[in-house]
Amino acid sequence: KAGVTQTPRYLIKTRGQQVTLSCSPISGHRSVSWYQQTPGQGLQFLFEYFSETQRNKGNFPGRFSGRQFSNSRSEMNVSTLELGDSALYLCASSLVPGVGKNIQYFGAGTRLSVL
């Protein structure tokens, strides 16, 4: 079974641009979560999607958005990029959300550099 696939693996953008990252979950997994990892703030939860609906959202500005498609694939978008958005963005999938069912399987991440 293929794991969680994130594309692209690396991105270089300039301030003010926007970027879209993609995540394909493990086959059969319907929940997708996104995390941002930086040296200063560590791993922080961005949002979670299940059945094309955002179910949880972290404490990030509205420039960060996401969506999920009917095949469970997810995209996240960051608009008006800032230098501080440089980070490793990780996507994780799980079967369904729910207490006790929270083992999440992570992709290799997309490393975004904002110049």
Partner 1 sequence: SQQGEEDPQALSIQEGENATMNCSYKTSINNLQWYRQNSGRGLVHLILIRSNEREKHSGRLRVTLDTSKKSSSLLITASRAADTASYFCATDKSYGNKLVFGAGTILRVKS
**Interface contacts to partner 1, rule CB under 8 A:** 4, 31, 33, 35, 37, 41-45, 48, 55-56, 58, 88, 90, 92, 94, 97-100, 102-109, 111
Q: By C-beta, is 48 or 81 nearer to partner 1? A: 48
Q: By C-beta, is 78 or 97 nearer to partner 1? A: 97
Task: Of 83, 110, 89, give the one whose Cα is nearest residue 14.
Answer: 83
Q: By C-beta, is 2 or 103 nearer to partner 1? A: 103
Shortest CB 76 distance to partner 1, Å: 15
Shortest CB 92 distance to partner 1, Å: 7
